[in-house]
Chain A
Amino acid sequence: KNQVEQSPQSLIILEGKNCTLQCNYTVSPFSNLRWYKQDTGRGPVSLTIMTFSENTKSNGRYTATLDADTKQSSLHITASQLSDSASYICVVSARNSGYSTLTFGKGTMLLVSP
């Protein structure tokens, strides 16, 4: 069964500090890995998408890494801001006959404190 595990479950950091969120997956056949940000009461919004051949991808203060051999990914947030407070969801896509099915992690709830 395809699975995506995220850690930690929740995290509190001070504004301006950095943090790293982790994602481990067992999804086959692997197509790509995505990180989404979900603000409270809103739908998920894509931060990055990485394919098998991509090790790292940045989007502003967000940097995602992917190790396809160990099936691990991380999302690093630099110089955190209060607006970064949200749930961060790791999503792995498996390819099935021309379209992708998505397996969602449970998310890491990040709270950035002033």
Chain B
Amino acid sequence: NAGVTQTPKFQVLKTGQSMTLQCAQDMNHEYMSWYRQDPGMGLRLIHYSVGAGITDQGEVPNGYNVSRSTTEDFPLRLLSAAPSQTSVYFCASSYLGQGMYTEAFFGQGTRLTVV
């Protein structure tokens, strides 16, 4: 059971380049989300999905796109990378719980540097 797998672990981009951060989970979780973690700040939600074909914006969505074609995969696309997108990105997944709490599992993170 691999849990939540993110690739790549490290990436350097030039300003204006595009790329996709991959996230896959093997726990059949409905809910998946992307966060960014910056120094001195808590994790901030970029986009999330409550199931295949359903996505929505979080707190800081600008400059990022997502799609959810399968339950397992939730890629994050940077359309035109900017230095402000230099950050550590985490993907997380959990079951949806009606009236109960659900554990969130995080990937190992992708450290992205935009120069």
Contact flags B19-38 to A (C-beta < 8 A → 1, else 0): 00000000000010001000
If A43-B90, A49-B101, A49-B103 touch, does A99 touch B109 (CB 8 Å cutoff)? no
State which size class the interface on A falls in: 20 to 34
Q: Does B50 contact A (CB under 8 A)?
A: yes
A105 cross-chain contacts in B, Cβ below 8 A: 42
Interface of A is mostly: strand
Q: Work out how many contacts link A and B, with CB atoms closer than 8 A.
A: 49
Q: Does A89 contact B (CB under 8 A)?
A: yes
Interface of B is mostly: loop
- Which residue in A43, A51, A93, A107 is a CB contact (below 8 Å) of B106? A43
Can you sample 26 A-B contacts with CB below 8 Å? A34-B104, A42-B109, A43-B4, A43-B90, A43-B92, A43-B107, A43-B108, A43-B109, A44-B90, A44-B106, A46-B104, A49-B103, A51-B101, A89-B42, A98-B96, A99-B31, A99-B50, A99-B97, A100-B97, A100-B102, A101-B45, A102-B45, A102-B104, A104-B43, A104-B44, A106-B40
| Residues of A near any B CB (own CB < 8 A) | 4, 31-32, 34, 41-46, 49, 51, 89, 93, 98-107
